[in-house]
Amino acid sequence: MTEQMDMFNHAPRSHSNPLVDILKTESEFYEGTRWFNARDLYCRLPVMTFEQARRQLRQWAEDSDGLVISGNNGYCLIHTATPEERTHAARRLISQGRLMHKRGIRILRKQHQIEGA
């Protein structure tokens, strides 16, 4: 059990994450607000299209080492989320991963059928 837990107890990444920095600043400025959607954050980003900004935000959330959670409400720092929000975000991502895995298997099966024909 201890060996399994060690994979979750690694040192945080040393580099700064722009999304974490933006969310910290926004959370301090808008006291009491925990969730920010892509449109809220868009004006804080370098010049890019909104679609590019949405992709960049998703990538930064992915690279945040678990500090940023996302959901229907937008993006939130994990320490400001409720336990229910954290659990929901984790379960949603795990479920999406399972669905993508199943879709990948179906694609490979179809490929096999096409190539075998």
The predicted pLDDT at position 9 comes to: 44
The predicted pLDDT at position 1 comes to: 46
The predicted pLDDT at position 11 comes to: 41
The predicted pLDDT at position 77 comes to: 93
User: Is 1.10.357 the CATH classification of the domain at 15-81?
Assistant: no
The predicted pLDDT at position 104 comes to: 97
- With bands split at pLDDT 50, 70 and 90, how would you rate the model's confidence at 10? very low
The predicted pLDDT at position 8 comes to: 43
In this structure, the strands spanning 68-71 and 74-77 are: antiparallel
Whole-model pTM? 0.71
Are 44 and 29 a contacting pair, CB within 8 Å?
no
